[in-house]
A and B are shown apart, each in its own frame.
Chain A
């Protein structure tokens, strides 16, 4: 089920109302958690009923693995083996669904197997793995009940595209009581509205421009492709951040606190800073469960750089079964290494220049993320560097890039609001909270402005979130 669908507009209020009723009539958390599990499986299986079986299998495997690690297996070598077995089982499942289709295509060509990729599989497998890892490390005890754990592993706001929650952070919240709290719900609704603004007002419009440029990349000038790729950087941010923001707002309405997934990434003044602000839940997952166990920065510079490359290559593989994602991941790692290599020179740059360079490096790498294949990416990059055609800056009307005057002006206005919102977030850390604290007339003006902008953009049509395919 899409967050930006009529179905969800009905689904969420029903889930929330029943959830609060169950919490108020029962002293036990059990009925409310059973309701959340039911709602989450409905949410997940709405697109394809088969998805639910895989989610259930992942839940069972990780729950019992955690149980065995804590209560049954005590010898450390056996624990390690059990952990490795669980990791192989889950990552193997992930690998199968992500890569079997590609491998089959490479081997069998047109007779390749058609394998359904369950949406969100990368997210909930990684989230469930945190449970096993943390129990193995001894930093948490297994869930109090299977019901709580199943509610955690299937929690619908984060199920399809994260944030990838850590078990020690989210799981205990399923054992707490969440009563109706007006302020919290209002805050959650503002966040959701902002998430819809990012998706419907910005990402959907940016997608039209980017798609038009990339669909005609052979005829486009280097300048147009450069603009198109920069816009794609913005699109992917708006698209993915919107999902995370709606997810966080949805969870907040129900009383849950989720991890922030984006922290104004385009204000980053270095690539490493950018990756600490972008898809935070995934990057910190890789940091804690791959980079640090590999030795992190404790084994010398050479090993550190190798570890960075490994982590970002894995991150690329996690994103998709295509060499373009692997190149994107490797480039992202490589830029951080290069940045460290010239840190002396960089320190003399003004901050704005560092921010611009970071954005351009990110955009360079993201070209591979957007391209259908390496050939397209290389053509785009080649044209930007060899066929820029400065004259096309003057001849390319912004209104000719798929959006008419009205929608283009709407987009520009939206981007200005995004900039203001992110500036406030950068300074205070909570723009939604600042809005909630405004005087009534200002607050309601902002509310109506957001609602009108969202409604005014609904005609563009509901589009899937980019990260669904991962």
Chain B
């Protein structure tokens, strides 16, 4: 039995040694496979004279591999029905479901996928929630596959709406807090759940953080806060 298990471990090690690891990124933040990522950094430009607004949702999606592959298949399926765009290998494709074959990835080099949703809407038209299932698959013997869902909207029903407290404010380069009285526990994570700050705070201070969207728990309150 022991020999069989050792043999099995050896075979597994051999097989997994060939499986490449694919990782998606939203900006600089790694995406946890299988997760639903909420993205709220929507650009809206209004043109009142022409009675329309431009909506742009660009989460800066990229992918990286830990090994060279010239046969990665990228699938982006907008399940909410909008037309989205994905680019790779010097070409872009736009449709409700986009499949790009034979995408080349080099070891350790991020590739920008040019994933975005853009639309011209009437001024009073609601900005849609764009939900897209994104998958990358190594179409070789390794068969590595990674997927996640991204939900892009002005606000998401599944997450507490952004609350700006007098005692917690986004400032240039970080988040400013002000606590009068007792110490308050403050915890801040990235939108993909990575812990960036966790401590009891009182008085005033600034937590230095790069720009982006964060989820916070501050005392008995929680919400989202965006640093520009």
Q: Do A and B come from one complex?
A: no
